[in-house]
Amino acid sequence: MAMANHHPSNDFLMEHAAGTLPVAQAACISAHMNYCDRCRRAHDQMQNIGGAMLERMQPVPVAESVLEVVLARLNDPEPLRHQTAKAAVALPALLSRIINGDFSQLVWKRITRSLSISYLSTGDRDYEFALYRIAAGGRIPEHRHSGSEMTLVLEGGFSDSKGSYHPGDFIYRVADEKHAPVALDGEDCICLAVLDAPLRFTGWNYRWLNPFLQLRAS
Amino acid sequence: MVEEKSDNEVSAQRTPAWTVPTGRRTDEWSECLVHIGKSQDRAAFTRFFRHFAPLIKAFALAGSSLSATHADELVQEVMLKVWQKAGGFNPEKAAASTWIYTIARNCRTDMFRRLQKFDTQLAAEDLSIEVEGEEPFAVLHNRRGSDRVRDLMGQLPPDQAQILAKVYMEGKSHSEAALELDLPLGTVKSRVRLAIQKLQVQMDRQ
């Protein structure tokens, strides 16, 4: 498995461990941890903080009737829950297929000659959750983010002015950072991108693209 | 109901099976949980419930975002999950309190989403990362880290403990915590960073 070199911040790992991230962002961080043992270990420790805090809560009395209800329901059949392989870390079907590199059956929308986008639904209305496919060696026109963007490389790789990124690498860009990623040669690059506002292409000849790039979150 | 009560009385008279020494460092509730998983022992479960249910209820009510009725509902959901999942609990990988914390966190997230009619196919559990059984070193490392965090938690300065409580118990994001405490986001983040250092959580990933 690839070793990731670019990781989410400690703040993201803590917010994930505390369950406070929006579902689309949480899915992206989970997907990164699927590649990265170190982040998973750091995340384990972040969860330990939650356990230790829970132990120190001031207990609030629970009525005996609640215990009785629970005891009476212990033999109820357990709700069915699919068991997935270790590698998939129990992500539901579509996401787990994507994480495992199966990009079939996705609907790709062609944006430019080198860029196609497949919009996925997480139910999160505030964040767009999509796969970007950049053709080998292809360039995404320079753009600016009016919101934040999380990117996780799933296949191939890309580079921009700040570095080059490979499968498992996690990149976070805040609003108003401009960049122009170029896919590495030899292989199409597939990335998972979570945006909280649509991309804005800045080059004049790409401006007309913008209406197509509204948020597709849902 | 009658059956459970008698079960309970019996347990009070006999030596609990989960106190059998194992030679490795562990805590009472982890042993209890293992025992519940192995033997589906209702008396042990009742004991576990009496200890943790009031803590889960406190967690549910933290930030006063759920009503008392919903808090009791959350306690029920969490405790049923405890019963169902106890067999998969591995005390070498996680403390019982961390294990039940993650269950409570996921149940609360799903309950919030249900209450807000937020429609997603992803249950919080789907995005939850299981503690992995990798090399023994990593497991030991996490276990030690966990013990250390519990020992050091009481020594956190109040301003740092307050932020962690907002994040972990009330389920607030760093920016929500900043708003509620009327602090700049940068201050919240630096207190979080200091708390992590104090708890000797090793976050080096380079």
Strands A115-120 and A109-110: antiparallel
- Residue B194: pLDDT band (50, 70, 90) is very high
Determine contact: B104 vs chain A, CB below 8 A.
yes
Least confident of A127-131, A174-178, B146-150: A174-178
Q: Enumerate the residues of chain B whose CB falls inside 8 A of the CB of residue A92.
A: 121-123, 126
pLDDT tens per residue, range A36-77: 888 988 899 999 999 999 999 999 999 999 999 999 999 887
Q: Which amino acid is at B117?
A: K
In chain B, residues 147-166 whose CB comes closer than 8 Å to chain A: 149-150, 153-154, 164-165
Higher pLDDT, A171 or A141: A171
> Cα separation of B87 and B36, whole Å?
7
Same domain for B169 and B115, yes or no, is no
Tokens standing for residue A113: 């000659």
pLDDT band, residue A144 (cuts 50/70/90): confident
- B205 closest CB neighbour out of A42, A68, A73: A42
- The answer to the question of residue B178 being in a domain is yes
A81 chain-B contacts, CB cut-off 8 A: 125
Out of A55, A68, A124, closest to residue B97 by CB: A55
Residues B105 and B154 in one domain: no
Question: Is B192 part of any domain?
Answer: yes
Residue B19: which pLDDT band, with cuts at 50, 70 and 90? very low
pLDDT of residue B102: 95
Tell me, yes or no, whether B44 and B105 share the same domain: yes
B5: pLDDT confidence band, cut at 50, 70 and 90? very low
Nearest CA to A128 among A200, A214, A29, A194?
Answer: A194
Q: Is residue B66 within 8 angstroms of chain A, CB to CB?
A: no
Asked if the model's pLDDT at residue A146 lies above 90, the reply is: no
CATH of the domain at B107: 1.10.1740.10
Residue B129 domain-assigned? no
Which CATH number does the domain housing residue A55 bear? Answer: 2.60.120.10
**Cβ-proximal residues to B100 (8 Å cutoff; 6+ apart), any chain:** A51, A54, B52, B56, B78, B82
CA distance B48 to B142: 23
In a domain, B20, yes or no: no
Alpha helices in chain A (DSSP H): 10-17, 23-35, 37-55, 64-73, 93-99
Q: For residue range A70-101, what is the model confidence (pLDDT) as tens digits?
A: 999 998 876 655 443 333 344 556 666 676 66
Whether residue B54 and residue A61 make contact (CB cut-off 8 A), yes or no, is yes
In a domain, B41, yes or no: yes
Q: Cα-Cα-Cα-Cα dihedral of A45, A46, A50, A56, to 10°?
A: 60
Stretch B37-57: mean pLDDT: 96
Contacts of A15 in chain B (CB under 8 A): 167, 173-174
Q: What does the alpha-carbon distance between residue B108 and residue A54 come to, in Å, rounded to a whole number?
A: 14
Q: What pLDDT score does A211 carry?
A: 43
A126 compared with A217, residue with greater pLDDT: A126
Q: How far apart are CA A90 and CA A97, in angstroms?
A: 11
The predicted pLDDT at position A190 comes to: 92
A73 to chain B, minimum CA–CA distance in Å?
A: 8
From B20's Cα to the closest Cα of chain A, the distance in A is 23
**pLDDT (tens digit per residue) in B154-166:** 999 999 999 999 9
How many separate domains does chain A show? Answer: 1
Q: Determine, for residues A90 and B126 on separate chains, whether the beta-carbon distance falls below 8 Å.
A: yes
Domain that holds residue A184: 1-218
Please list every residue in chain B whose beta carbon sits closer than 8 Å to the beta carbon of residue A169. none
Last residue of a domain, one of B94, B119, B144: B119
Q: Are B58 and A122 within 8 A, CB to CB?
A: no
How many domains does chain B divide into? 2
Say which residue, A17 or A198, is predicted with more confidence. Answer: A17
In B, minimum Cα distance to A89 occurs at B129
CATH no. for residue B153? Answer: 1.10.10.10
- Would you state the pLDDT for residue A169? 95
- What confidence score (pLDDT) does residue A2 get? 53
Q: How many CB atoms are located within 10 Å of the residue A136 CB? A: 14
pLDDT at B74 over 90: yes
Q: Could you tell me if B172 lies within 8 Å of chain A, comparing CB atoms?
A: yes
The pLDDT assigned to A123 comes to: 74
At A25, give phi and psi (nearest 5°): -70, -40
Judge whether residue B111 has pLDDT over 50: yes
Q: Which domain holds residue B85?
A: 25-119
Q: Do B120 and A19 touch (CB under 8 A)?
A: no
B49 to chain A, closest Cα gap in Å: 7
> Which residue among B85, B119, B153 closes a domain?
B119
Residues B30 and B111 reside in one and the same domain = yes
In this prediction, residue B7 carries a pLDDT of 40
Q: Output A199 or A109, whichever has higher pLDDT.
A: A109
Residues B112 and B161 in one domain: no
Q: Could you tell me the pLDDT band of residue B131, with boundaries at 50, 70 and 90?
A: low
Q: Which residues from chain A sit within 8 angstroms of residue B76, using beta carbons?
A: 66, 69-70, 73
* A148: its two tokens: 């934040």
Residues B75 and B48 in one domain: yes
**Predicted pLDDT of residue B101:** 96
- Look at residue A164 and tell me whether its pLDDT is greater than 90: yes
Beta carbons of B80 and B68 less than 8 angstroms apart? no
pLDDT > 90? residue B6: no
